[in-house]
Amino acid sequence: MSLLDVLRALVGAMRCAGDADVLMLTEARARKLLNENGVLYGDRVQAEIDVIAVPRPWPGEEIRTAHYAGVRAAYYLGLQIGWRAAQRFR
């Protein structure tokens, strides 16, 4: 089960709708990072954060909130890596 599915069940689909695009993007990147590098921080992880942390509006966001888009993406990347690592230990 993906983190997005779990969050939808916990907080509701409407509450997750605004972050669904970011969660799907970071899910794919977290899967690739874990498979190639494991859970430890390194150059590849920093490179992914640098790519997704560029301030830009996500679909449905206003320009004024674009400043926080990179921070949200980096945060969700960390959540995704933690979620995927926890799933592997089950």
**Domains of the chain: which residue ranges?**
3-89
Within the chain, residue ranges assigned H as helices are 3-11, 13-16, 20-37, 43-52, 69-89
pLDDT at 9: 92
pLDDT-derived band at 57, boundaries 50, 70, 90? low
Residue 58 has pLDDT above 60, yes or no: no
Location of structure tokens 């590098």: 37
Q: Which of 78, 54, 55, 61 is nearest to 3 (CA)?
A: 78
pLDDT-derived band at 65, boundaries 50, 70, 90? low
- Please check whether residue 34 is in contact with residue 84, taking contact to mean a CB–CB distance below 8 angstroms: yes
pLDDT, tens only, 5-25: 988 999 988 888 888 888 888
Taking the C-alpha atoms of residue 23 and residue 37, their distance in angstroms, rounded to an integer, is: 20
Residue 85 has pLDDT above 70, yes or no: yes
pLDDT-derived band at 59, boundaries 50, 70, 90? low
